[in-house]
Structure 1
Amino acid sequence: MHVFVSALLGGLLIGLAASLMMFLIGRIAGVSGIASKAIRNPRQQSWSLAFLLGLVIGTSFFHNLSGASAPQLDTSATLLIISGLLVGLGTRLASGCTSGHGICGLARLSSRSLVAVAAFMITAMVTVFLRFQG
């Protein structure tokens, strides 16, 4: 499948899932908030865990369906762990993650989400520039 087509289908499915979640159960599809609920709130644990499990199973299913090979990483495990921790810290400081702010927050015209997404994008551009400079 062409990269453009798979990206388009992925975006449509993410938008559909976020819309259904908002309209059916009144929740925002922010993955960091859902993961936090799965850990901290036993009453909301079942649907939170089901959502997170669905992300893993859905990703595996569509990856296998595409026939693509697994990506090869040339980065050390230590750097990946540090990067993950920094993303977690940024998520906490921004009061949400890219899915919560970028997909759901912008759709609701949230000014806080607009600022957060602008910060995400600027940081990503600077990081790519510094990483691949020269």
Structure 2
Amino acid sequence: MELASSLQGLAGGILIGISAVWLMASLGRIAGISGIVGTLITQRPQGDSAWRLAFLAGLVSGPLVLMLFGGGLGNVVNSPGEVIGEPLGGVSLMLVAGLLVGLGTGLGSGCTSGHGVCGLARLSPRSLAATVTFLLAALVTVYVQRHVLGA
């Protein structure tokens, strides 16, 4: 891994941490992306839609600002200049995977940002269990895909 990629990852992690702390300190809210998006989509506006929209705008605008200043997002395997590549399993598999992730965040009462970043920082046993479950599921998925299915 090259130094520039490491520094970008470090900067991104610091910004995620700052935003999570800022949201908790200013509004007493946990920076769980699935909860922020889910509430915007499924519930009536309760007067707190503005901060949710601003938070999501920040998530989307960060990479756009990076691109404006010439820091490409080259994150596609075998095509480092590409921002978004062709999905390896096809669009239909991506849609199914997205649906499963959405169902999982609903069943787990949160996502990796809520449990993994904010919950672990608060020493929540429930978040520890959820994060271990996320990681184990990812490990099993990669193992099955690479060593059982041979993809």
TM range (shorter): over 0.9
| TM-score normalised by L of structure 1 | 0.92
Structure 2 distance, partners of 1:79, 1:29, is 28
Percent of paired sites with the same residue: 47
* 1:22–1:28 Cα contact (<8 Å) kept: yes
Count of residues paired in the alignment: 134
2:51 to 47, 50, 56: 47
Structure with the largest fraction of helix: 1
- Higher relative contact order structure (alpha carbons within 8 Å, sequence separation ≥ 6): 1
Q: 4+ residue stretches of structure 1 with deviation over 3 A?
A: none
Structure 2 distance, partners of 1:6, 1:104, is 21
1:52 alignment partner AA: L
1:77, distance to aligned residue in structure 2 (A): 0.6
Per-residue deviation, residues 58-109 of structure 1 (Å, max 9, x unmatched): 1222244412331423331100000000000000010001000000000000
| TM-score normalised by L of structure 2 | 0.83
2:130 to 104, 108, 116: 116
Structure 2 distance, partners of 1:36, 1:87, is 13
**Structure 1 spans left out of the alignment, 5+ residues:** none
Larger Rg: 2
Task: Show the counterpart of 1:30.
Answer: 32
Is it true that 1:62 corresponds to 2:66 in the alignment?
yes
Bigger CA drift: 60-69 or 34-43? 60-69
2:14 alignment partner AA: L
1:114 alignment partner AA: L
Task: Show the counterpart of 1:101.
Answer: 115
Structure 2 distance, partners of 1:23, 1:106, is 17
Cα RMSD over matched residues? 1.5
Per-residue deviation, residues 101-132 of structure 1 (Å, max 9, x unmatched): 00000000000000000000000011111112
